[in-house]
């Protein structure tokens, strides 16, 4: 009975009037013509061609469409970047190329043509094994998931070579050592016998790349391979992938949400939103002449393009999840300049040039007038922005003073100093950014100030002149909780999954009974929710119902409801999607102005830091190495580590990005055996860490 109904349903959908069918066919021919017209402009022939790929997932009894008909071609010897935020389906889409969808997912329609076969029709694992790893290989974000922790690196790679090429163990071993050398691992003979745990994150990713290229694949898919790495390491891994691609003449499909990375590696870019490719073009066309409103908005919202003291351009709202029903253009609800038709009908592909197309009604000749108007408006917006004057330190009073702060941890019997003799001041009303790579101790400083660590902290921290380290009375603690608050990095982990938003935000109010009655509390919660741009209907929901950006705003509301003067923001934007970052940065800036807040902003990304901070402190392995006013640091970096960090900052501009010179920092360059380093104020407000000889060299450098 049920089956009959389904068949009838399917039949009724298929029956189209001849005109409709002809129209549909014409549209398909038109779209495929646009998709293939860039072929002569590519470096080689088309290897893999995906057409109208649809992927569905069964989740808790519901059928969800993750990929809604994505079409894309991969050409030989080129790097194609797929850009999109989390949930846009970029990973799922490329996983279909190697048949690695999760158990509850399936390809529901479309074709995947590779070497004359339609891979979308593959049903048996054996069919996939001919392709996966051999012809198309994949590198994942977290290298630990693809390596076996209890086997040596060498054996893992040698096994792949023996398995695929039928070589003897000795031959495979020799080849493995050669491969390890190729991916930039020093002393590969010794490293061959080591376990994944003995490698650093960047080295592990190199090993995973070695495994992936061991079989000489035609296509290498890199799924956010550098997201978990520090900027300096990221730049090195990108260089490695680029050089390997040239050497092996592979096609590389690069999945990322980081536009700086795209500008660095990609020849061609496909932008993905809500399970569809919305724009495709060469890297220059995408960065310099984007047409889809989403791509444009993404590029505009980058902090590098912001003017200090003004709001960043930000994309409103939240990216759609799989549960959202999409009608028309998926981006329309978040697009302030959307047209009526965007809400009515899904836009088709419109060509821009031979090599560039976009899925937006704006490119229709009928929208010509409106499009011209938008371009004019944007030009005006750019002209009007005047940067704010830098923070005035004359007469500014220090709010928080940190002197000789050290934090020690015991790790398997050994004590090690995560933070070593750090001193700095934060002035009332400024934003001081603490920049450093993972493991440098920046989060530890933040937590030591917040008194999360107490027993293992030495040194002195004063807040408004009162000492806040060591033992405090109950009253003093209460006062601190009202004046200092913290915002956290991971919006997934920083909210209690089993509590409703109402409780999460009111937690501080409950602790010190900061409300008169229940009504007053509810009113306070609603007011703060509105301030962070959420509606009061959200109070009765659980955190998992929100997107990352919304959760981060709930976290901000939770700390702001205490009315603090000082906020420690521990990497509040690094876990967020690009389209959401600008929103959160704007919110933090708005709160700073309205509530005259002071921030300690902890970050590893220098591009956002430049936009929001007044002072920047650079930390390396627990030592502050340089501290200077924001523009001064960018103009005259002195410490070699600062220089290396600055050289690695990704720029969302392919011309700049490709010509940038990476500087490497090796701590061994300092000779501190006789001449001990000190923390010196080299010019007013500009501190640097070094010994006498180095300080003299820095002085000379400044005079030049």
Partner 1 sequence: MNRSEHKLCSFPKSLVRNQDLFAPAPFNAAESEKTGASNYSYWKSTLRTFFKSKAVVALVVLVCGIILMSFLYPVFSSVDPTKVSTDRQDWNLRPSLTHLFGTDGLGRDIFARAWYGCRNSFLLAFCIALSDVGIGMIMGALWGYNKKLDPIMIEIYNIMTNVPSTVYLVLLAYIMNTSYLTLFISMASRGWIVEARFFRNRILSIRDSEYNIASQCLGTPMRRIATRNIIPHIINLIIMEAALCIPYSIGSEVFLGFVGVGMPVDAITLGNMVNHGRGSFTLHPYQMLLPAAVLCIITVAFYVIGNKFADASDPRNHV
Residue 188, helix vs strand vs coil: helix
CA distance 333 to 158: 52
**Nearest-approach distance from CB 323 to partner 1, in angstroms:** 4
Long-range contacts of 344-350 (CB under 8 A, 24+ apart): 348/27, 348/30, 348/31, 349/30, 349/31, 349/34, 349/35, 350/34, 350/291
With respect to partner 1, which residue has the nearer C-beta, 212 or 504?
A: 504
**Nearest-approach distance from CB 248 to partner 1, in angstroms:** 33
Cβ-contact 483, 463 below 8 angstroms = yes
Q: Beta partners for 466?
A: 463
The alpha carbon torsion through 631, 636, 637, 638 (nearest 10 deg) reads: -140
CA distance 365 to 361: 9
The CA angle 436-442-446, to the nearest 5 degrees, is 150
CA distance 377 to 47: 42
With respect to partner 1, which residue has the nearer C-beta, 144 or 499?
A: 499
CA distance 317 to 63: 25
With respect to partner 1, which residue has the nearer C-beta, 73 or 571?
A: 571
**Nearest-approach distance from CB 700 to partner 1, in angstroms:** 45
* Token pair recorded at residue 302: 């980058």
CA distances to 4, 56, 130, 175 from 108, in Å: 20, 6, 22, 41
With respect to partner 1, which residue has the nearer C-beta, 350 or 641?
A: 350
With respect to partner 1, which residue has the nearer C-beta, 360 or 607?
A: 360
With respect to partner 1, which residue has the nearer C-beta, 3 or 103?
A: 103
Structure letter (DSSP) for residue 655: H
With respect to partner 1, which residue has the nearer C-beta, 41 or 527?
A: 41
**Nearest-approach distance from CB 450 to partner 1, in angstroms:** 5
Count Cα atoms within 13 angstroms, Cβ side, for 563: 8
Return the beta strands (E) in 3-134 as ranges. 46-59, 62-75, 79-83, 105-114, 117-118
**Nearest-approach distance from CB 558 to partner 1, in angstroms:** 7
CA distance 319 to 331: 8
With respect to partner 1, which residue has the nearer C-beta, 247 or 345?
A: 345
Q: How far apart are the first and last CA of the chain?
A: 87
DSSP string, 436-465: --TTSSHHHHHHHHTTS--TTEEEEEEETT
**Nearest-approach distance from CB 427 to partner 1, in angstroms:** 22
Chain centroid to CA 195: how far?
Answer: 29
Pairing of strands 350-353, 117-118: unpaired
**Nearest-approach distance from CB 104 to partner 1, in angstroms:** 5
**Nearest-approach distance from CB 466 to partner 1, in angstroms:** 17
**Nearest-approach distance from CB 237 to partner 1, in angstroms:** 27
With respect to partner 1, which residue has the nearer C-beta, 29 or 669?
A: 29
With respect to partner 1, which residue has the nearer C-beta, 290 or 688?
A: 290
Residue 364, helix vs strand vs coil: coil
CA distance 411 to 388: 46
**Nearest-approach distance from CB 322 to partner 1, in angstroms:** 7
CA distance 226 to 400: 35
* Token pair recorded at residue 613: 């901070």
**Nearest-approach distance from CB 653 to partner 1, in angstroms:** 22
**Nearest-approach distance from CB 117 to partner 1, in angstroms:** 30
CA distance 578 to 87: 13
**Nearest-approach distance from CB 625 to partner 1, in angstroms:** 27
With respect to partner 1, which residue has the nearer C-beta, 538 or 689?
A: 538
Backbone angles phi and psi of 239, in degrees to 5: -60, -40
With respect to partner 1, which residue has the nearer C-beta, 484 or 608?
A: 484
Structure letter (DSSP) for residue 153: H
Number of other CB atoms surrounding residue 154 within 10 Å? 22
With respect to partner 1, which residue has the nearer C-beta, 344 or 516?
A: 344
With respect to partner 1, which residue has the nearer C-beta, 249 or 478?
A: 478
Angle, helix 518-531 to helix 501-512, in steps of 10 degrees: 120
**Nearest-approach distance from CB 523 to partner 1, in angstroms:** 19
**Nearest-approach distance from CB 285 to partner 1, in angstroms:** 11
* Closest of 254, 276, 221 to residue 110, by C-alpha: 276
CA distances to 57, 388, 647 from 589, in Å: 40, 13, 27
CA distances to 38, 506, 536, 561, 694 from 511, in Å: 63, 9, 22, 12, 51
With respect to partner 1, which residue has the nearer C-beta, 69 or 677?
A: 69
With respect to partner 1, which residue has the nearer C-beta, 234 or 559?
A: 559
Q: Beta partners for 358?
A: 279, 350
- Enclosing H/E stretch for 510: helix 501-512
**Nearest-approach distance from CB 320 to partner 1, in angstroms:** 6
With respect to partner 1, which residue has the nearer C-beta, 198 or 466?
A: 466
* Token pair recorded at residue 184: 């930039």
**Nearest-approach distance from CB 685 to partner 1, in angstroms:** 30
Residue 388, helix vs strand vs coil: coil
* Closest of 523, 514, 577, 579 to residue 548, by C-alpha: 577
């Amino acid at each position: 009975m049920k089956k009959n109904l389904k068949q009838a349903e399917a039949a009724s959908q298929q029956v189209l009037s001849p005109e409709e069918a002809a129209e549909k066919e014409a549209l398909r021919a038109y779209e495929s013509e646009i998709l293939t017209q860039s072929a002569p402009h590519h470096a080689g022939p088309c290897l893999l061609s995906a057409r109208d790929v649809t992927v569905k997932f069964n989740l808790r009894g519901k059928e969800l469409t993750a990929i809604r008909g994505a079409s894309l071609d991969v050409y030989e010897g080129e790097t194609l970047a797929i850009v999109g935020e989390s949930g846009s389906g970029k990973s799922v889409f490329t996983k279909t190329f190697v048949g690695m969808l999760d158990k509850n997912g399936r390809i529901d329609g479309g074709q995947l043509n590779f070497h004359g076969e339609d891979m979308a029709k593959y049903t048996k694992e054996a069919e996939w094994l001919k392709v996966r790893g051999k012809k198309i290989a994949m590198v994942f974000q977290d290298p630990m998931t693809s390596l076996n922790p209890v086997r040596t690196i060498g054996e893992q790679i040698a096994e792949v070579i023996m398995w695929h090429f039928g070589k003897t163990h000795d031959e495979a071993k020799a080849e493995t050592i050669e491969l390890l050398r190729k991916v930039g691992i020093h002393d590969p003979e010794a490293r061959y016998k080591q376990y994944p745990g003995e490698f650093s994150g960047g080295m592990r990713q190199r090993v995973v790349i070695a495994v992936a290229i061991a079989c000489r694949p035609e296509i290498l898919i890199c799924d956010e391979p550098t997201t978990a790495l520090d900027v300096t390491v990221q730049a090195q891994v990108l260089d490695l992938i680029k050089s390997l691609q040239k050497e092996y003449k592979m096609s590389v499909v690069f999945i990322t949400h980081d536009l700086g990375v795209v500008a660095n590696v990609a020849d061609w870019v496909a932008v993905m939103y809500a399970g569809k490719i919305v724009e495709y073009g060469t890297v220059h066309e995408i960065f310099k002449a984007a047409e889809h409103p989403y791509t444009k908005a993404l590029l505009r919202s980058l902090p590098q393009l912001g003017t200090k003291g003004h709001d960043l351009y930000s994309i409103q709202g939240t990216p759609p999840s799989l549960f959202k029903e999409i009608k028309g253009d998926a981006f329309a609800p978040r697009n302030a300049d959307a047209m009526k038709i965007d809400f009515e009908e899904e836009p088709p592909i419109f060509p821009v040039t031979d090599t560039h197309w976009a899925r937006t009604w704006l490119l229709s000749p009928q929208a010509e007038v409106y499009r011209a108007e938008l371009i004019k408006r944007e030009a005006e917006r750019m002209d009007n922005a005047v940067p704010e004057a830098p923070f005035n330190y004359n007469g500014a009073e220090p709010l928080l003073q940190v002197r000789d702060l050290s934090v020690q941890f015991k790790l398997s019997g050994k004590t090690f100093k995560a933070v070593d003799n750090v001193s700095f001041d934060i002035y009332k009303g400024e934003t001081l950014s603490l920049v450093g790579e993972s493991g440098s101790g920046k989060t530890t400083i933040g937590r030591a100030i917040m008194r999360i660590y107490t027993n293992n902290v030495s040194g002195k921290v004063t807040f408004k002149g009162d000492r806040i380290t060591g033992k405090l009375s109950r009253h003093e603690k209460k006062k601190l909780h009202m004046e200092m608050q913290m915002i956290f990095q991971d919006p997934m982990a920083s909210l209690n999954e089993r509590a409703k938003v109402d409780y999460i935000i009111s937690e501080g109010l409950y602790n010190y009974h900061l409300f008169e009655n229940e009504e007053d509390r509810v009113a306070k919660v609603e007011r703060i929710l509105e301030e962070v741009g959420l509606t009061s209907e959200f109070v009765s929901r659980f955190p998992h119902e929100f997107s990352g950006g919304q959760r981060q705003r709930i976290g901000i509301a939770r700390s702001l409801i205490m009315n603090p003067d000082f906020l420690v923001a521990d990497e509040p934007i690094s876990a967020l999607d690009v389209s959401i970052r600008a929103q959160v940065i704007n919110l933090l800036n708005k709160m700073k102005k309205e509530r005259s807040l002071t921030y300690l902003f902890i970050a590893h990304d220098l591009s956002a830091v430049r936009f929001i901070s007044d002072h920047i402190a650079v930390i390396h392995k627990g030592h502050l190495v340089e501290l200077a006013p924001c523009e001064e640091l960018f103009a005259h970096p002195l410490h070699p580590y600062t220089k290396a960090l600055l050289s690695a900052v990704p720029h969302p501009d392919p011309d700049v990005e490709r010509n940038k010179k990476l500087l490497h920092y090796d701590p061994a360059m300092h000779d501190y055996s006789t001449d001990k380093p000190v923390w010196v104020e080299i010019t007013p407000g500009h501190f640097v860490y070094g010994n006498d000889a180095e300080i003299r060299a820095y002085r000379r450098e400044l005079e030049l």
